[in-house]
Amino acid sequence: MIDLAAQARIVLHQAFFGGLAAAGFGVLFNFGPRSLALCAGAGAFALAVRTLGLDANWTLEAATFVAALATASVAMIGLRGIGAAAQAIALAGCIPMVPGAFLNEALLGFFTISASEAVNAEAAILPSLQAMLRFIFTLGAIGAGLAIPSHLARHRGF
Amino acid sequence: MQDELDEDDADPVRMRHRDLERIANAALRVGRALMECGASVSVTRLGVTMTARGLGAGIIGVRVGYASIGLTVSAEQTTITRMISVGGLGVNHRLDMAVRALAARVAEKGGTVASVNGDLDRLIRETPRHPIWLVALATGVACAAFGRLLGVDGQAFAAVLLGGTVGQDLRRRLAARGVNPFVIAALVAFVAGSIGGWGARLLGSASVDMATIAASLLLVPGVPATNAQTDIMEGYPTVGSARAVAVGMMMIFAATGIWCAQGLLRAGA
C-alpha cells in the first residue's frame, strides 16, 4: 500500500513536470492556446506511461518507445478531428523525453577523455559511450513510436 | 525593339513558360514556408505538389534539399524548372498548419497565382505569435521542468528557470542580429549554464552540475532530430542525414558552452 502510494506520487511528479515541459516548449513552437493545453496533456500522458514502464523494470529505451507509441496512438484516435495537428501535439508531448542531457554528458565526457593529460581515460570512456548510446537509442525509440501510428493510418499530413 | 516584345507576348510557348514560371514560384514559396516552419520532406513535397496542381500545372518532379527546393512543372509539351533557397529551419506550428490549409484549399478549389502569393504573404505577416517575454519565460519553465525530470532538486529549480529564460532571450537577440546559429548555441549554453550552475550553488543545491546542463536544454533540437528520422524513414536520407549532422553540430557547440560554464564553476569553487 505504501509502495503503491509512493509509486503514484512518482508517476504524478513525472507527469506534472512532463506536462509543464511540453507546454513550455509548445509556446516556443508557437502552438495556439487550445493546442498548448493538449500539448501539456500529451506530455503528462507520455511521462506517466514511461514512468510506469520504468517501474516495471523496462529499459529506458523500451519504456520511451511504448510511451511515444501510446501518445501518438491516443492523439491520432482522440484528436482525429484536428487532422495533422494531432501528430504535432504528440511530438510536442514527447519532447520532454528527448534525452538531451545524455548527449551533453557523453560529449562532456569525450572532451575530458580527449584532453592530452587525461586522467583515468579508460574509466571515463565507458560512461560517455553508454550515455551516447542511450541518447541514440532513446531518440530512435521516440521517432519510431511517433511514426508507426501515422504510417499505419496512412495520414498524409494535411 | 517594341515589335520584338509584342511578338514575344503573342508567342504561345513563351506565354505558357511565363505562366508556368509564376506557378512554380508560388508553389516553391509554399514549400519554403513549410520547411522553415519545421515540416518534414514528405509534407513539403505534398504542399508544393498540391499547390502547383491546384494552379493548373502538371508535376514532373520535386526535389527537396536541406537548403533549397527544386520543382519542374509542365503544361502540354512545355516544361520549366525553378529553384528556391530555404532559410533557417525552425518550428512555427500555427504558421505550418495555416500554410498546409492554404495548399489543401488550392488543391481542392484551385486559385490564381496572385491569390496564393497574397494569401501566403498575409499568413506570414498575420499568423499570431506569443509575446517575446512569454516565449522566454515558457522556455525557462520548460528547462526547469526538464531539470526536475532529470532529478534536479527544488533549490536549483529557480536557477534553471532563470538560466533558461535569459538563454532564450539571448538566443532571440543574437538570431535577430544574424549571428551563426552554432555560435549562438555555444554562447547561449555558456550564459544559461552559468546562471543555472552559479544560481544553484548560491541556493545551496546538491545538483549544481545537472542544473548547468538543464538550463541549456532549450538548445536540444528535438523537432529537427525527430524530423531527421522521419525523413530517412520516408525515403529521403539526404535531407535526413543533413538534419542529423546539424543536430550533432548544434549539440557539440552547446556542449562546448556548458564545458566552459562548468570549468568556471569548478575554478570558482
CA of A56 vs chain B CAs: smallest distance (Å): 18
Is residue B151 located within the same domain as residue B116? Answer: no
How many percent of chain A have pLDDT more than 90? 63
User: Are the CB atoms for B22 and B111 separated by under 8 Å?
Assistant: no
Predicted pLDDT of residue B12: 67
Residues of chain B contacting residue A100, judged by C-beta atoms under 8 Å apart: 146, 217, 219-220, 222, 251
A115: CB partners within 8 A, 6+ apart: none
Residues of chain A contacting residue B104, judged by C-beta atoms under 8 Å apart: 158
Domain that holds residue A74: 2-98+145-152
Q: What is the mean pLDDT of chain B?
A: 92
Block residue for cell numbers 541514440: A136
Chain A nearest-CA residue for B143: A21
Closest CB to A24 among B104, B142, B251:
B142
Predicted pLDDT of residue A104: 83
Is residue B31 located within the same domain as residue B150? Answer: no
Q: C-alpha cell of B85?
A: 533557397
Indicate the pLDDT class of residue B25, thresholds 50, 70 and 90: very high
Mean pLDDT on A149-154: 82
Tell whether the model's pLDDT for residue A22 goes beyond 90: yes
Cα(B113)–Cα(B19) distance, integer angstroms: 9
Is residue B192 located within the same domain as residue B253? Answer: yes
Predicted pLDDT of residue B40: 93
CA of A124 vs chain B CAs: smallest distance (Å): 16
Q: C-alpha cell of A45?
A: 500522458
Length of chain A: 158
The beta strand positions in chain A, using DSSP E, are: none
Give domain status of residue B153, yes or no.
yes
Tell whether the model's pLDDT for residue A23 goes beyond 90: yes
Domain boundary among B91, B111, B126: B126
Question: Could you give the number of structural domains in chain B?
Answer: 2
Domain boundary among B75, B110, B126: B126
Cα(B40)–Cα(B89) distance, integer angstroms: 11
Q: Is A71 on the interface with B (CB under 8 A)?
A: no
Closest CB to A91 among B140, B150, B226:
B226
- The letter for the amino acid at B262 is Q
- Selected residue of B34, B139, B149, B249 to mutate for chain A interface (largest A Cβ count, 10 A): B149
Give domain status of residue A110, yes or no.
no
Contacts for A132-135: CB closer than 8 Å, 24+ residues apart:
A132/A102, A132/A103, A132/A106, A134/A60, A134/A61, A134/A99, A134/A102, A135/A99, A135/A100, A135/A102, A135/A103, A135/A106
Could you give the maximum distance between any two Cα atoms of chain A, in Å?
60
User: Are the CB atoms for A133 and A115 separated by under 8 Å?
Assistant: no
Cα(B145)–Cα(A24) distance, integer angstroms: 9
Give domain status of residue B222, yes or no.
yes
Domain boundary among B111, B126, B141: B126
Is residue B140 located within the same domain as residue B251? Answer: yes
Cα(B247)–Cα(B52) distance, integer angstroms: 32
How many percent of chain B have pLDDT more than 70? 94
CA of A143 vs chain B CAs: smallest distance (Å): 5
Predicted pLDDT of residue A113: 83
Ranking A9-13, A113-117, B33-37, B122-126 by mean pLDDT, the lowest is: A113-117
Is residue B98 located within the same domain as residue B179? Answer: no
User: Are the CB atoms for B213 and A130 separated by under 8 Å?
Assistant: no
Q: Is A152 on the interface with B (CB under 8 A)?
A: no
Give domain status of residue A30, yes or no.
yes
Q: Which residues pair with B85 in a beta bridge?
A: B68
Q: Is A148 on the interface with B (CB under 8 A)?
A: no
Residues of chain B contacting residue A156, judged by C-beta atoms under 8 Å apart: 46
Q: Is B94 on the interface with A (CB under 8 A)?
A: yes
Query: Would you call A21 and B91 a contact, using CB atoms and an 8 Å cutoff?
Result: no
Predicted pLDDT of residue B77: 83
Is residue B178 located within the same domain as residue B263? Answer: yes
Cα(B144)–Cα(A17) distance, integer angstroms: 9
Q: Which residues pair with B74 in a beta bridge?
A: B58, B79
Is residue B65 located within the same domain as residue B12? Answer: yes
**Torsion sign (Cα): A10, A11, A13, A18:** positive
Q: Which residues pair with A7 in a beta bridge?
A: none
Residues of chain B contacting residue A104, judged by C-beta atoms under 8 Å apart: 213, 216, 251, 254-255, 258
**Torsion sign (Cα): B54, B34, B88, B249:** negative
The beta strand positions in chain B, using DSSP E, are: 58-64, 68-75, 78-85
pLDDT in tens, A82-91: 888 898 999 9
Question: Could you give the number of structural domains in chain A?
Answer: 1
Cα(B268)–Cα(B155) distance, integer angstroms: 20
Give domain status of residue B82, yes or no.
yes
pLDDT in tens, A35-83: 999 999 999 999 999 999 999 999 999 999 999 999 999 999 988 888 8
Assign residue A120 a region (left: φ > 0; alpha: ψ between -120 and 50; beta: otherwise). left
Domain that holds residue B193: 132-267
pLDDT in tens, B1-20: 455 545 555 566 666 788 89
Block residue for cell numbers 527546393: B69
ipTM (interface predicted TM):
0.89
Q: Is A32 on the interface with B (CB under 8 A)?
A: yes
Q: Is A61 on the interface with B (CB under 8 A)?
A: no
Chain B nearest-CA residue for A13: B149
CA of B74 vs chain A CAs: smallest distance (Å): 24
pLDDT in tens, B167-219: 999 999 999 999 999 999 999 999 999 999 999 999 999 999 999 999 999 99
pLDDT in tens, B225-246: 999 999 999 999 999 999 999 9
Tell whether the model's pLDDT for residue A145 goes beyond 90: yes
Greater confidence (B98 vs A81) lies with: B98
Predicted pLDDT of residue B122: 97
- Selected residue of B40, B93, B259 to mutate for chain A interface (largest A Cβ count, 10 A): B93
User: Are the CB atoms for B246 and B52 separated by under 8 Å?
Assistant: no
Closest CB to B145 among A21, A104, A156:
A21
